[in-house]
Amino acid sequence: MSDIKTYGSSEGTGYFWIQEYSQWGGGECSLIAVDEAGNVTRCPARRPLDEAAPTEAEAVLEHLGQVAVRAADGHLERRRRKLADQPPPEPKPEPMDEATRAFYEDAD
């Protein structure tokens, strides 16, 4: 087995208690499983709310680690540079007024 990991992946599945709040107030902790690609599977287990529990997004980032965040930031920065090098798109023509549109429709 190689010790080289693909960017954005962690090893195995991680399990986290996450904070979830109800729209009527209050909340609870829900159990989630986060896989190597950051996909979240919700488990039916619940427990009383613990303020120390992470949110779902925090749990995913913790599982994937900073390598995934740095890789995604790098891709985004390359895309920004690529888009900055392209000429701006041509402006769209002004829409025709009703009289001009009627004139062109009558020409047919």
pLDDT per residue as tens, the chain (108 positions): 445 444 444 567 889 999 999 888 889 999 999 988 889 999 999 999 999 999 999 999 888 887 788 888 999 999 999 988 888 888 888 888 888 888 888 865
What was the pLDDT predicted at 66?
75
What is the total count of domains within the chain?
1
The answer as to whether 54 is a domain residue is yes
Instruction: Check if the beta carbon of residue 33 is closer than 8 Å to that of residue 51.
Output: no
Residue 2 lies in a domain: no
Q: What is the pTM of this model?
A: 0.57
- List the domain range (segments joined by +) for residue 58: 14-85
Report the DSSP pairing between strands 40-48 and 14-21.
unpaired
- What CA–CA distance (Å, rounded) separates 49 from 19? 7
